């Protein structure tokens, strides 16, 4: 496996992990916002 290929694989994996983390955080944030609205109403 060439260095460039390895680097591309690492970058892709990192980007996928990053977007998955963002999705998770935004979904958690939505749940938190719903709970907050529910409590305040």
| Residue 1 confidence (pLDDT) | 66
| Residue 15 confidence (pLDDT) | 96
pLDDT 10s digits, 6-40: 999 999 999 999 999 999 998 998 888 888 888 88
Domain range for 17 is 3-37
Tell whether the model's pLDDT for residue 5 goes beyond 90.
yes
| Residue 34 confidence (pLDDT) | 87
- How many helices and strands, by DSSP H and E, does the chain display? 1, 0
Number of domains composing the chain: 1
């Amino acid at each position: 496996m060439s260095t460039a290929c390895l680097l591309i694989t690492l970058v892709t994996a990192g980007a996928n992990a990053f977007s998955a983390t963002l999705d998770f955080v935004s979904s958690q944030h939505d749940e938190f916002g719903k709970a907050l609205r529910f409590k305040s109403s």
